[in-house]
């Protein structure tokens, strides 16, 4: 196994672990948001439309990161699109840092992905 192949495989695993830890971190925040808004709502039984869309985008991002850990390209695309919608659309300018931290694994899977780690 050559040095180039070892580098490709190591890079692939680094991004897979990064995606998995992103899944764990943002998944924990999703559980907290679900507790806050769905299970124990302070605003009454009806959720505001804004909150519903935020929870949908957050859920899609977490699901996309999970799929990204397994190098599924469609899930990586879902992660990028929903992260952009959640962090930039819902949170706004203060979400840019979180967006930048979240998207490298899906971007890697979309552009390098399995083919670079498996090619001999």
pLDDT in tens, 47-105: 888 989 999 999 999 999 999 999 899 999 999 999 999 999 988 999 999 999 999 99
Q: Which domain does 43 fall in, by range?
A: 3-118
Number of domains in the chain: 1
User: Which of the four pLDDT bands, split at 50, 70 and 90, describes residue 117?
Assistant: very low
Task: Supply the pTM of this predicted model.
Answer: 0.87
User: Could you tell me if 101 and 51 are in contact, meaning their C-beta atoms sit under 8 angstroms apart?
Assistant: no
pLDDT of residue 18: 96
pLDDT of residue 116: 44
pLDDT of residue 77: 95
Q: Mean pLDDT of all residues in the chain?
A: 90
């Amino acid at each position: 196994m050559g040095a180039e192949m070892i580098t490709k495989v190591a890079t692939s695993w680094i991004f897979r672990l990064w995606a998995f830890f992103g899944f764990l971190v943002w998944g924990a925040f999703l559980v907290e948001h679900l507790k806050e808004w769905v299970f124990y709502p302070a605003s009454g039984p009806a959720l505001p439309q804004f909150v519903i869309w935020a929870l949908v985008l957050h859920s899609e991002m977490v699901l996309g990161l999970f799929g990204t850990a397994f190098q599924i390209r469609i899930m990586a695309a879902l992660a990028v699109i929903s992260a952009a919608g959640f962090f930039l659309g819902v949170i706004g300018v203060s979400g840019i840092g979180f967006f930048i931290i979240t998207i490298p694994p899906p971007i890697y899977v979309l552009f390098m992905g399995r083919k670079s780690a498996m090619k001999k």
